[in-house]
Amino acid sequence: MSAKESVLAKAVWQETKPASPAVRNSRKRSVSDFLVYAAGAVLLFIVACALVPGWIAPYTPTEMLTDRIMQPPGGSHLFGTDYFGRDIFSVVVYGSRDSLLIGIASVAAGLLAGGAIGALAGYAGGIIDMVLMRLLEILMTIPGILLALAIAAALGPSLANIVIAVSLSAVPGYARVLRGQIMSIKGRPFIMAAHSIGTPGLSIFLRHVLPNSWAPLLVMGTIGLGTSILMGSGLSFLGLGVIKEVPDWGTLLSQGRGYLTVAWWMATFPGMAITLLVLSVNLIGDKLRDRLDPKHTRG
């Protein structure tokens, strides 16, 4: 076929169009890919710690080696030992279970409750929105930790109550973010288009509004994970948590704080564990958000 023919044989729909070939910036891409894989590995390791700590930790967390009190990191004790002579690495490994539980459960509960309130307020609008938002504003005037303290004190110390207390203090934040997103999506022309087609309201909400609104919540949730672990530990520190043989990371952190000048490793390693967890969840969350956005996946 001559060039001329090939040109003229074109139908309208064969327009050269945005197939946007992936002109990739290979260096940038590989760095970000590496980070995500690293984050995945860290997260897997932490989950493994929580599930089968016995396979990973060299000592049991309650074992007190009285001859090796407050030893710095190195040798047979990767993270050093504490004032009882416990191997900090082992304690951190065993402590991952409660930390993860507090973090994930309270974020999940907060997201669900906050999301539901925000979605309802944003989509229904009017008087419902006004009432819900005023209530949340009242809740927001109380500092998060104080609120959690009050709740934990009222309900009594237990793991479940810590989760309730921590998640409740995060509810207003999630609710406000989702409400704002939903209100802006609600005004977009494609919602009007769906109405004009005759799509029922609930279907519009579930298929159009929600999928376009929740992405910021995902990011907030990943950051909230770290805050929740810390707040849970704060409650434990104040004696409102569960008194257990194996302390969670937050508790470890607050216990080690007093020894920062003499034994820096006692607080540093649990702190690093929290940081690593939050960082990796955050990285994966970001990637996930991009993956779920059709604009990022193709082209």
Partner 1 sequence: MSTLLEIENLTVQFNTAKGLLTALSDVSLHIRAGETVCLVGESGSGKTITSKSIMRLIDFENGIVSGGTVKLDGDELTAMSGRELQNLRGKKMAMIFQEPMAAFDPVFTIGSQIIEVIVRHKLGSRKQAWARGVELLRRAGIPEPEARMKQYPGELSGGMLQRAMIAMALACGPELLIADEPTTALDMTVQAQILQLLKELQQEFNMAILLITHDMGIAAEMADRIIVMYAGKVVEQATASQLFGQPHHPYTKGLLQSITTLDSIRKSRLPSIEGTIPGLAELPEGCRFHPRCPHATAKCVQESPPLLKVNGRQAACWYAGELAGKLGDGQAVVQTNGQSASRPCSPADIVHLEPEPGYSIPSPFIDIIEVKKYYPLGRSIFAKHTSSIRAVDDVSLQIRRGETFGLVGESGSGKSTLGRMILQLEQATGGDIRFEGRSLTGLSEGELQKTRRNMQMIFQDPYGSMNPRWKVSDIIGEPLRVHEAMNASEKRIRIEALLESVGLNPKWADRYPHEFSGGQRQRIGIARAIALRPSFILADEAVSALDVSVQAQIINLMQELQQELGLTYLFIGHGLHVVRHVSDRIGVMYLGKLVEIADSEELFANPAHHYTRGLIASIPWPDPGRERIAAGIAGEIPSPSKPPSGCRFHTRCPAVTARCREEEPKLAQVRNSHWAACHFPA
Interface with partner 1 by CB under 8 A: which residues? 2-4, 7-25, 188-190, 192-200, 203, 207-208, 211-212, 293-295, 298-299
Our CB check for partner 1 shows the closer of 92 and 132 to be: 132
Looking at the Cβ atoms of 15 and 245, the one nearer to partner 1 is 15
In whole angstroms, give the CA distance from residue 118 to residue 272: 33
Shortest separation between residue 18's beta carbon and partner 1, angstroms: 5
* CB 201, min distance to partner 1, A: 9
Closest CB 221 distance from partner 1, rounded Å: 19
User: Of the two residues 60 and 212, which places its CB atom closer to partner 1 in the complex?
Assistant: 212
Helices (H), the chain: 3-8, 26-51, 53-56, 88-124, 126-141, 144-155, 159-186, 189-197, 201-204, 215-237, 249-257, 265-292, 294-297
Q: What are the start-end ranges of the H helices in 200-264?
A: 201-204, 215-237, 249-257
Of 134 and 188, the one with the shorter C-beta distance to partner 1 is 188
Q: How far is the CB of 128 from partner 1 (least distance, A)?
A: 15
Compute how many other C-beta atoms are within 10 angstroms of the C-beta atom of residue 79: 22
CA distance 232 to 145: 9
Cα 20 vs. chain centroid, distance in angstroms? 33
- Report the nearest approach of partner 1 to the CB of residue 279 (Å): 24
Close Cβ partners of 210 (under 8 Å, ≥ 6 residues apart) = 119, 182
Task: Considering the complex, state which of residue 9 and residue 154 has its C-beta at the smaller distance from partner 1.
Answer: 9
**Distance between start and end Cα atoms, the chain:** 31
